[in-house]
A = this chain, B = another copy of it.
Amino acid sequence: MTEPLQDIGRLLISCPDRPGIVAAISQFLLSQGGNIIHSDQHATEQVGGTFFMRVEFQLPHLIDRGEELERAFHAVADRFDMQWYMAYASRIKRLAVFVSKEEHALYELLWRCKMGDLPAEISMIISNHPNVETTVASWGIPFHYIPVEPDQKQEAEARQLQLMEGKIDAVVFARYMQIVTPKFVSRYPNRIINIHHSFLPAFVGAEPYTRAYERGVKIIGATAHYVTADLDGGPIIEQDVQRVNHRPNVKELKRVGQYVERVVLARAVTWHVEDRILVHGNKTVVFY
Q: For A217, list chain B residues within 8 Å (CB).
A: 200-201, 236, 239
* Number of chain A residues whose Cβ lies closer than 8 Å to a Cβ of chain B: 66
| A64 at interface by CB-CB < 8 Å | no
Q: Is the CB of B247 within 8 A of A42?
A: yes
Tell me the number of copies of this protein.
4
The winner among A34, A37, A49 for most chain B CB atoms within 10 A is A37
| A3 at interface by CB-CB < 8 Å | yes
A281 to chain B, nearest CB (A): 8
Stretch at the interface among A18-26, A143-151, A168-176: A18-26
Q: For A219, list chain B residues within 8 Å (CB).
A: 199, 221, 239-241
Provide the bound-state CA to CA distance between A274 and B239, in Å: 28
Q: For A255, list chain B residues within 8 Å (CB).
A: 117
Q: Is the CB of A216 within 8 A of B48?
A: no
The winner among A33, A34, A40, A111 for most chain B CB atoms within 10 A is A111
Q: Mark A167-206, 1 if CB is under 8 A from B, else 0.
A: 0000000000000000000000000000000011111000
A137 to chain B, nearest CB (A): 8
